Amino acid sequence: MKLLSRTEEFILLTVLYLKDDAYSVLIRKRLKDVTGKTWSFGALFISLEQLVKKGLLTSSLTDPLPERGGRSKRIYGVTLLGQKALEEIKKMERKMWEAVPETNRG
């Protein structure tokens, strides 16, 4: 399996964190809260759809909200393959950091 990009890693971790509330607005808010960076909806949607196509995320629509004109939300979930990809990148990052002497770390 190809390594995750940093963006893919952050999105997958955010979806794991949000659990059943992992929809675009909350994903974007959590990413901003953690990274301090604003993530455009366009770039986020593209990344989410790519992760679905790669089999790392699932995507489903909720029932429409009970208010007038209520819309459905697209909820994302991390697949078993997505969890494995996260574990793999975590192990690699740990190995990379362990290989750097303490005196060279910022």
- Kindly report the CATH number assigned to the domain that includes residue 33: 1.10.10.10
Beta bridge partners of 48: none
Instruction: Give the separation between CA 51 and CA 104, rounded to whole angstroms.
Output: 35
What pLDDT score does 52 carry? 98
Number of domains in the chain: 1
Assigned domain for 100 exists: yes
Assigned domain for 28 exists: yes
Assigned domain for 20 exists: yes
Who has greater pLDDT, 69 or 28?
Answer: 28
Instruction: Give the separation between CA 43 and CA 41, rounded to whole angstroms.
Output: 6
Confidence of residue 89 (pLDDT cuts 50, 70, 90): very high
| Structural domain containing residue 93 | 6-64+71-104
Assigned domain for 1 exists: no
Confidence of residue 12 (pLDDT cuts 50, 70, 90): very high
pLDDT at 63 over 70: yes
Assigned domain for 52 exists: yes
Structure tokens at 4: 């995750």
